Structure 1
Amino acid sequence: MDVLYFKLELPLQSTEQVLGVQLILTFSYQLHRMSTFEMQSMAFLQSSFAVPGSQLHVNGDLRLQQKQPLSYRGLDVRYNVSVINGTSPFAHDYDLTHIVAAYQERNVTTVLSDPNPIWLVGRAAEAPFVIDAVIRYPVEVISYQPGFWEMIKFAWIQYVSILLIFLWVFERIKIFVFQNQVVTSIPVAVPQGEIRKEHLS
């Protein structure tokens, strides 16, 4: 399993304290088998505590969430745009509430599952605040709409498999019926025609 080790140190002044963290990590997500799909995704982490902290440790899985199956045809790049519009001159495009809401409107997203945040206290006066994250990329089950020829291929394999089993069972039944005389049979005498011989005179 692939793993991302992320560490961020934030320099702080001696009078500054950290009571909470809101963190967005962006990813380039690509699929190249069965369905060709590319998108820019994110993992959002939010933690807040009553006492000032020195470190935040996170350990979770980046999971794929689908609201509809992917397409099998062509390259799907409808979500291959930045999660945060860095070229926008409007302040609301950088608002965290707007970013998360727009991201959730997508049909395909990623989410940080079971982050299990651990908040450590006791920061020294000149020490930075540390965010330490371990993010795993588990095996995913992808839902997609298969094409016509792919459906025919798998349907043909299933048809042949069932046909072979049926022929084998039918042959066994036929052998059993004839060997054990399960079906009552009555012999019928077939009349033989008269045998004539022609003599040449």
Structure 2
Amino acid sequence: MALYVLFSHPAERGYRAGLCSKAAFFLLLAATLTYIPPLLVAFRSHGFWLKRSSYEEQPSVRFQHQVLLVALLGPEPGAFLAWSTFPAFNRLLGHHLRVPLVSTREEDRNQDGKMDMLHFRLELPLQSTEHILGIQLILTFSYELHVSQPLFFLLQMSTFVMQSMAFLQSSFAVPGSQLHVNGDLRLQQKQPLSYSGLDVRYNVSVINGTSPFAHDYDLTRIVAAYQERNVTTVLSDPNPIWLVGRAAEAPFVINAVVRYPVEVISYPFCFWEMIKFAWIQYVSILLIFLWVFERIKIFVFQNQVVTTIPVSVPRGEVSKEHLS
């Protein structure tokens, strides 16, 4: 009659020894070499404590309809025309003031509720004897970022709000009739944004439009103060095209397209995010050490490299006799 294996279960073998024996010392040494080296390997391989990360977001940008224009005239040195949306500055200009025709339009091309670009057109009237050799232009924007980061079953939210600007400067050796610009309003970070709370430290006007003092409208001071911020925007790759051949009495025209692209935002990790990424790295290395030292312990005890008393232990059961 043929016999078949109808049922089987594994059997465990225990090894008894005193707590002050060589076997106990070996287990302590093996445990130390199992759990501590993976931590050292993960830490020394860099990137164990990740302190910052990044994410992509479409900022909420709106043009504030604040403009400051300085047009450099030639050939007389120091001659210029200027205009702004700030009445206090215009009163300081005297005969240098020239009021242009301005039209703007913002587009939301993908219909996601956030504007994607600004179309800006400025027509500066000129006399037949006036010629434009250079342009300095400031446009201001409201810039908002809404950060959402998961934390266990919660969702952390933070908001960053600031008043920013796009500065355009172009000059050429020959008088122009039009200036065409097409660039991106890019975010520049000197430090990561906060992962929680409301950050409004830069939610102040770039230009103090209520000041009666001329030095508050000096472009050098405005740009220098703006660059002191840790977070700014800059008109990137404007690709200015300078057209010549202006007809008599025709205005000088500035056509600008400013795009609001998706940005890569840098932010610092919170405590639990640091632990999550550190734990993943540690455990991935620990599994290898656990497998290796488990084989080493089986070899040492099966071959009696350290003196112990082998006993049979039913799986899932450990009697008091075996523990004594």
Whether TM exceeds 0.5 here: the answer is: yes
- State the partner residue of 1:194: none
Cα deviation for residue 153 of structure 1 reads 5.4
Cα deviation for residue 150 of structure 1 reads 4.1
- State the partner residue of 1:32: 146
- State the partner residue of 1:177: none
Residue 259 (structure 2) aligned to one of 136, 141, 146: 136
SS at match of 2:223: helix
Query: Which runs of no fewer than 5 residues in structure 2 stay unpaired?
Result: 1-57, 59-115, 149-157, 296-301, 304-309, 311-324
**Correspondence 1:13 to 2:127:** yes
Cα deviation for residue 159 of structure 1 reads 6.5
**Correspondence 1:75 to 2:198:** yes
Cα deviation for residue 6 of structure 1 reads 1.6
Structure 2 counterparts to residues 104-115 of structure 1, below 5 A: 104-115=227-238
Residue 43 (structure 1) aligned to one of 152, 166, 169: 166
- Change in Cα spacing, 1:52 to 1:33, as seen in structure 2 (3 Å) is same
Cα deviation for residue 50 of structure 1 reads 1.4
Judge conservation of contact 1:71–1:146 (CA < 8 Å) in 2: no
User: Within 1, Cα distance between the matches of 2:277 and 2:261?
Assistant: 27
**Correspondence 1:117 to 2:240:** yes
Judge conservation of contact 2:189–2:231 (CA < 8 Å) in 1: yes
What's the C-alpha RMSD, in Å, of the aligned pairs?
Answer: 3.3
- State the partner residue of 2:109: none
> Which AA in structure 2 matches 1:16?
E
Cα deviation for residue 152 of structure 1 reads 4.6
Q: Deviations over 1:42-73 (max 9, x none)?
A: 11111111111110011111111111111122
Tell me the percent identity. Answer: 81
If asked which structure has higher relative contact order (CA below 8 Å, sep 6+), I would say: 1
Query: Which runs of no fewer than 5 residues in structure 1 stay unpaired?
Result: 175-184, 191-201
User: Within 1, Cα distance between the matches of 2:234 and 2:210?
Assistant: 25
User: Within 2, Cα distance between the matches of 1:9 and 1:139?
Assistant: 30
Judge conservation of contact 1:73–1:147 (CA < 8 Å) in 2: no
User: Within 2, Cα distance between the matches of 1:135 and 1:154?
Assistant: 38
User: Within 2, Cα distance between the matches of 1:112 and 1:136?
Assistant: 9
Cα deviation for residue 14 of structure 1 reads 2.2
- State the partner residue of 1:100: 223
User: Within 2, Cα distance between the matches of 1:67 and 1:100?
Assistant: 16
Q: Deviations over 1:99-150 (max 9, x none)?
A: 0110011111111111111100111112211111122222221111232344
User: Within 2, Cα distance between the matches of 1:118 and 1:52?
Assistant: 13
User: Within 2, Cα distance between the matches of 1:146 and 1:88?
Assistant: 41
User: Within 1, Cα distance between the matches of 2:244 and 2:215?
Assistant: 34
**Correspondence 1:88 to 2:202:** no
Cα deviation for residue 151 of structure 1 reads 3.8
TM-score normalized by the length of structure 2: 0.48
Judge conservation of contact 1:29–1:40 (CA < 8 Å) in 2: yes
User: Within 2, Cα distance between the matches of 1:160 and 1:104?
Assistant: 41
Judge conservation of contact 2:135–2:170 (CA < 8 Å) in 1: yes
User: Within 2, Cα distance between the matches of 1:153 and 1:76?
Assistant: 26
SS at match of 1:49: strand
Corresponding residue pairs, total: 182
TM-score normalized by the length of structure 1: 0.75
Judge conservation of contact 1:63–1:137 (CA < 8 Å) in 2: yes
Cα deviation for residue 89 of structure 1 reads 2.5
Judge conservation of contact 2:178–2:253 (CA < 8 Å) in 1: yes
Judge conservation of contact 2:185–2:261 (CA < 8 Å) in 1: yes
User: Within 1, Cα distance between the matches of 2:159 and 2:277?
Assistant: 20
Residue 184 (structure 2) aligned to one of 45, 49, 61: 61
- Change in Cα spacing, 1:22 to 1:151, as seen in structure 2 (3 Å) is same
